[in-house]
């Protein structure tokens, strides 16, 4: 019995040592205050979004939790207010799978909120099926919905500069391939689903890159982020068999949402990183991306196609 207790204690100690030294990532060390500043965080009701919103609230920001589920968002907001002591955390409905909902959100926000300094495009999905507008769900939510949202809010961000846009991507962008001729087919099968998710995350990186080029000289900067492998509610979409196989590994070796949010927070508040606008960050530092994610011609093409599909027209 004593042997088992000692062995268990050693295993737990080793796990803690490995997690906090190798798995948890690098914490954001900036103590920048956000008092007097307004931030939008999409998907702020859980996971990375909630952890990011909580940090912003603790720094004194007015935080708009842009979420699809009112019930889940309001529960999260009550928790964030309690933990931060900041009552300037409010819910606004946003369904990124509906371009109409994105437009309504932007219109409501612009009428009710005079300032915007931070936009965190965090919400995401790996779901199968199609959006309300008939696009592949992962691409439509992860990229196109955020593309339209950002475009509609750009003028306000410019008016409130210096301001920042943080796009939550993933190392999964390395699996992506941009095929702009087929954006309306639902995914079928685990591999196809993973590749579709990777493509949406590749478009996130390309979007942040092209956005930075278009915003040069405006004092608005953009960054794409890999938060690490994070244990979030996204794994609820897995089938029962995959859950049984995968969840124990994710629970033990993936980052907590608070740990995963550190690079998002870093890109939102760290002083002196403006020169890295358009770059890709992981563990609070600039990282290299796959060759596909460095192609400026493809980035421009993704922008042009997204602009057309989102119903935006250049003057």
DSSP state for residue 184 in the 8-state scheme: S
Report yes or no: 87 and 81 within 8 Å, Cβ to Cβ.
yes
Query: Closest Cα partner for 155 from 104, 220, 216?
Result: 220
Beta-carbon-side half-sphere exposure of residue 177 (alpha carbons within 13 Å): 6
User: 57 in helix, strand or coil?
Assistant: helix
Close Cβ partners of 296 (under 8 Å, ≥ 6 residues apart)? 209, 210, 213
**Active-site hit among 15, 19, 20, 197:** 197
Tell me, rounded to whole angstroms, the distance of Cα 207 from its chain centroid. Answer: 13
Q: Long-range pairs for 77-86 at CB < 8 Å and ≥24 separation?
A: 79/50, 80/50, 80/53, 80/54, 81/57, 83/54, 83/57, 83/58, 84/54, 84/57, 84/58, 86/57, 86/58, 86/60, 86/61
DSSP state for residue 64 in the 8-state scheme: E
Query: Closest Cα partner for 110 from 144, 70, 158?
Result: 158
Close Cβ partners of 305 (under 8 Å, ≥ 6 residues apart)? 180, 183
Query: Closest Cα partner for 43 from 156, 119, 104, 157?
Result: 119
How far is Cα 272 from Cα 51, in angstroms, rounded to an integer? Answer: 23
Report yes or no: 127 and 138 within 8 Å, Cβ to Cβ.
yes
Give yes or no: 223 in active site: no
Q: Which residues are catalytic?
A: 197
């Amino acid at each position: 019995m004593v042997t088992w207790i000692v062995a268990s204690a050693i295993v737990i100690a080793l796990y803690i040592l490995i997690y906090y030294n190798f798995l948890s990532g690098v914490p954001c060390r900036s103590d920048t205050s956000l008092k007097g500043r307004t931030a939008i965080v999409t998907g702020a009701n859980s996971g990375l979004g909630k952890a990011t919103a909580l940090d912003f609230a603790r720094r004194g920001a007015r935080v708009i939790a842009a979420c699809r589920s009112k019930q889940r968002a309001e529960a999260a907001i009550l928790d964030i207010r309690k933990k931060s002591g900041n009552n300037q955390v409010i819910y606004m409905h946003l369904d990124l799978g509906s371009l109409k909902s994105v437009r309504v959100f932007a219109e409501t926000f612009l009428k009710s909120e005079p300032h915007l300094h931070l936009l965190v495009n965090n919400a995401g999905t790996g779901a199968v099926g199609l959006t309300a507008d008939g696009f592949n769900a992962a691409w439509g939510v992860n990229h196109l919905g955020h593309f339209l949202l950002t475009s509609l809010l750009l003028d306000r961000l410019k008016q409130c500069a210096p301001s920042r846009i943080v796009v939550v991507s993933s190392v999964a962008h390395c699996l992506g391939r941009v095929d702009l001729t087929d954006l309306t087919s639902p995914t079928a099968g685990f591999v196809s689903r993973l590749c579709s998710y990777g493509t949406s995350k590749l478009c996130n990186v390309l979007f942040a890159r092209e956005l930075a080029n278009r915003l040069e000289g405006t004092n608005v900067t953009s960054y794409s982020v890999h938060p690490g492998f994070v244990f979030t509610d996204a794994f609820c979409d897995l089938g029962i068999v995959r859950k049984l196989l995968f969840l124990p590994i994710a629970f033990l070796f993936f980052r907590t949402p608070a740990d995963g949010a550190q690079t998002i927070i870093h890109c939102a508040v760290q002083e002196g990183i403006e020169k890295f606008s358009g770059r890709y960050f992981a563990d609070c530092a600039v990282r290299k991306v796959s060759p596909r994610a460095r192609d400026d011609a493809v980035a421009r093409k993704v922008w042009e196609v997204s602009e057309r599909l989102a119903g935006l027209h250049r003057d």
